[in-house]
Chain A
Amino acid sequence: MLLDIHDVYFGYQNEVELLQGFDLHVERGEFVALLGPSGCGKSTLMNLAAGLLKPLGGTVDFDGGPLKGLNREVGYMTQGDTLLPWASVAKNITLPLELRNIPKAEREERLDRVIRLVNLADARDKFPSELSGGMKRRALLARSIIYDPQMLLMDEPFGALDAQLREVMHQELLSTVARTGQSVLFITHDISESILLADRILVLGGLPLRVMEEIRPPYGKDRILAKVRTEDSYFQLERHLRDLLRQADAATKAAKS
């Protein structure tokens, strides 16, 4: 087990505790999607896994030991544009390696590999302001995988993209993590995104947060997304998840008011 959030308590100031004895496990190489209405506390879980937040009670274990401070074994990608605008694409992608004092020769080598993986080789000397939205996402993805983290934490990473580009990015993400064997904890409120990508979907809702249902889409690691989208089971899952998400949304809203 790579990530083990066990019996965790957490809450923000002056509010009902969001997490009361919450459990979340992610296996090595597993792609887990957290699906839930906006504001239900998905991002809080991710920030606990990243070490940006400390639990008030319970334990967060990563790679067999308790997490101390920030979790630097993860790649972190959010919806925002967190590229450094004054640095070229190549500089941005190799930033984590530079921060880890990895020698220049190795940085170049890894950059070559990763930049081809995300199809950005032609843009390596451009500034982020010269990139399209999709290219920025690719650069961010490249930056979060270049130091071979054991796990990717992704908080609605493709939320701001148009539907077509999102499909392309989905397939690219899947083939990338299939090759690297990395685990992914993927936050979304998009139903089809969760079905297409995840090995396991946790539908979250309510206050305190709980897992409404756990679902395992049966498509395997080397799925072709265009094909998955035409399967009957895909539509059944989508309808089922839509009902669940509606319940989750109602549960969250009821508890908050």
Chain B
Amino acid sequence: MTDTSLSSAPADRRERQRKAPARISPTRRRLENLVIQIILISAFLMLWEYASGRWVPRLMVSKPSDIWTTILRWLWDGTFATNLWVTVQATVGGFLLGASAGMALGFITGAWKRLGEILQPIVTAFYTLPRLALAPLFLLWFGLGMEFRIMFSATIVFFLVYYNTYFGVREVSSELISAVRIMGANWFQVAIRVIIPSALVWVAAGLKISVPYALVGVVVAEMLASDKGMGYLLSRGASQFSAAQSFAAIFGLLVVALVVDWLITRITNHALRWKSAGLQNQ
């Protein structure tokens, strides 16, 4: 007995030295995480279903089965389609308007130092202003329609994109700009070939964080005053004491937000693929 255990011990150790410690594959790990996430969410939903009407009033929190029937009904009768379409249109509009204005002003004030010194404090003053305070004025100017939603959302997006672009442009090393100018670039070429691509990392970050805010802006605008859109569904549900409707609207927004985030991640990753090139190969 002692003989065999002694002789097998070194062999064992050799075996252990050769093999790397067992690790689960990334796919397996992702799958496990997904299963755990599904279990957590279903447990939460079941608890909700059970607690509603027993521990908390059903009027306040509704219950998942009711919400689900509302979602199905809205899917069938086109409520989701029409209202989501309005909200998505306004989000895209607000995002495009705010982002293009923010990028343009951010670029000009960042690249032209004197102009930046003059305009930057003014922009900051407006930034500190609560955006909600503009809502009554915007209602007065633009009425209840699409323009109100778009403008309201654009003001939120504008500042996020503006600051990111401004600092991105200011970050560009002056050494790099000097080198490229001596190589023969005029100011236009410096802007196109150096400043804009350099600032793109920052701009992309600004765009990415501002997409959800564009959606928030539109939903808030719709909750404040409108007769269409997901924000309208949300506040109508609450005002009719139908928590199920509000939750169904939230669910719809959640799906939209996830899709939008996935899209924007794909786009920015593609634009910034040079950044990770070194990491993949080393």
Contact = CB atoms under 8 A, between A and B. Distances in A.
Contacts of A87: 274
Interface in A53-104: 70-72, 74-78, 80, 82, 84-87, 95-96, 99-100
Given A84-B197, A86-B274, A50 B178 contact: yes
Contacts of B279: 129
Nearest to A50: B182
B184 A100 contact: yes
B149 to A, nearest CB: 36
A76 B185 CA distance: 13
A130 interface: yes
Nearest to A100: B184
A82 B197 contact: no
Given A96-B184, A147-B183, A129 B274 contact: yes
B182 A127 contact: no
B139 interface: no
18 contacts: A50-B178, A50-B182, A52-B178, A70-B182, A71-B182, A72-B183, A82-B179, A84-B193, A84-B197, A86-B274, A95-B180, A99-B180, A99-B184, A100-B184, A129-B275, A129-B279, A130-B277, A147-B183
A85 B182 CA distance: 19
Given A95-B183, A96-B183, A130 B278 contact: yes
Interface in B146-203: 173, 175-176, 178-185, 189, 193-194, 197, 200
A86 B282 CA distance: 18
Interface residues of B, number: 23
Interface of B: 173, 175-176, 178-185, 189, 193-194, 197, 200, 274-275, 277-279, 281-282
B52 to A, nearest CB: 54
B182 A76 contact: yes
Nearest to B176: A82
Number of chain A interface residues as a range: 20 to 34
Interface of A: 47, 50-52, 70-72, 74-78, 80, 82, 84-87, 95-96, 99-100, 126-127, 129-130, 143, 147
Nearest to B181: A70
B275 to A, nearest CB: 7
Nearest to A88: B274
A80 B185 CA distance: 19
A99 B193 CA distance: 10
A164 to B, nearest CB: 21
Contact of A99 (B173, B185, B200): B185
A87 B198 CA distance: 11
Contacts of A70: 181-182
Given A78-B175, A82-B176, A99-B184, A130 B281 contact: yes
Nearest to A153: B182
Contacts of B173: 80, 82
A127 B280 CA distance: 12
A84 B194 CA distance: 8
Contact of B274 (A85, A96, A99, A100): A85
A187 B197 CA distance: 30
Given A84-B193, A129-B274, A76 B178 contact: yes
